[in-house]
Chain A
Amino acid sequence: MIDIVFLVISVVTIFSSLMVVRAKKLVHSAIYLAGALIGTAGLFILLKAEFIAWVQVLVYVGAVVTLILFTIMLTRKGEEE
């Protein structure tokens, strides 16, 4: 049971990580980055490290991805195409 969950989370994380570099638009990359980081948090939960998992969500998804998105939106549009 736990192996299946691990496999699903791993596949999602690896797919998101690949899409971070492959996506055409910067905003899409940022969303995939959030997906990859949430996947990592899921792996921490599987390891019963709840505290690290939620700190991961708080710091990386809540703060880092928000800042990245903020930066992308404040800079000029059109260069990303």
Chain B
Amino acid sequence: MIANAYELIVYILTLLGVYEPVLNIFQLLGIEYVLKIIIVLVEIGILFVFVLLTVMFLTWMERKVVAMVQARYGPMVTGPRGLLQPVMDGIKLIGKEDIVPAKADRWVFTLAPFIVFIPALLVFIPLPFGQSLIISDLRVGLLYIIAISAVSPIAILLAGWASNNKYSLMGAMRAVAQDISYTIPLALAAIAVVMFTGSLSTVDIVNAQNGTWFGVIPRWFIFLQPLGFILFLIASIAEMGRIPFDFQESESELVAGFFTEYSGMKFAMFFLAEYAHLFSVSGIIVMLFLGGWALPILPFVPAALVQLVSLGVFLVKTYAVIFFAMWLRDTVPRVRIDQLLNIGWKIMIPLALLNLLVTGFLITAGVF
């Protein structure tokens, strides 16, 4: 059984007959760990390229979905159906002048986009893309994901503060107030899932959802935890800072929120982080509630194709969640800031606690 992407790479290399001669060379020199490090770096490289391509595709998809809802065409000029539009955007952003405001804290101002980008990438490490397509199956994978996502508000605060602009600072304040209040129902909803699996490992969570009830209904946690799923979905849309909860950059009030002063590549970093976050959060929703790569027909798939099919299943589910988030953005208006905090503290947290209580009772009573 191949457990993670590292072993998968080794397996593929062994099939190609490359692994053993190379390993022998490294063993002769007594530096096997260098080979390990190289393979891990290759893994990270593949992940990085995948995230970049996904982000490019998502920016295109977002425009197309907005256009579809508003009965327009969206980008059509560059490439077939405007598919090369993200490339043009990237070239444009690289070509822009990199402006640092005169009164800004130069050091923090430069650091903030990187701090915002690193957690967005790190979250992908325990995310199972397929049956063995996972960088590392951490024993505390879910805790790791929540902990890493808790770091990004710092970067937003730093960006807003360092810009020395009142709109930036207000955007940052709002973003962090929102992040802090919505992390709680998010974590509480995730804990209810952990109560079923008894494990924080992402692989165990997906494995627990493999199979069916009565041979028809897939064993996904959305059927056991409908309330938890809705709470997690709303809280994660708020965490991503998308409409209807996009207070960090509400254009009509705050220009562009915490990245008002950013231009060129630094702006691109925020953009990249935002869409990488959209993908990773959708992936986490799929992993927790929609069965990850698990699908009832998976046992009937020939063994050679299982990896590809499971990756496909995961991507289809993730893109369905992403499409839902984009659809929501085009349909509903923004809530007010007091409404946002009321929803978070007075409705979602009590509901999440209630959900936890009921789940606990039902598990102790032996219903599940």
Contacts and interface: CB of A to CB of B under 8 A. Distances in A.
B173 A62 contact: no
A44 to B, nearest CB: 12
A27 B173 contact: no
Interface residues of A, number: 21
A7 to B, nearest CB: 17
A63 B150 contact: yes
A66 to B, nearest CB: 5
B154 A73 contact: no
Nearest to A1: B33
Query: For chain B, which range describes its interface: under 10, 10 to 19, 20 to 34, or 35 or more residues?
Result: 20 to 34
Interface in B127-149: 138-140, 143-144, 146-148
A50 B176 contact: no
Contact of B180 (A28, A34, A55, A66): A66
B140 A57 contact: no
Interface string A18-38: 000000010110010010000
Contacts of B147: 54-55, 57-58, 61-62
Interface string A32-59: 0010000000000000001100110110
Interface of B: 33, 105, 107-108, 111, 138-140, 143-144, 146-148, 150-151, 153-154, 157-158, 160-162, 169, 172-173, 176, 180
Interface of A: 1, 25, 27-28, 31, 34, 50-51, 54-55, 57-58, 61-63, 65-66, 69-70, 73-74
Q: Which 3 A-B pairs have the closest CB atoms?
A: A62-B150, A58-B147, A57-B147
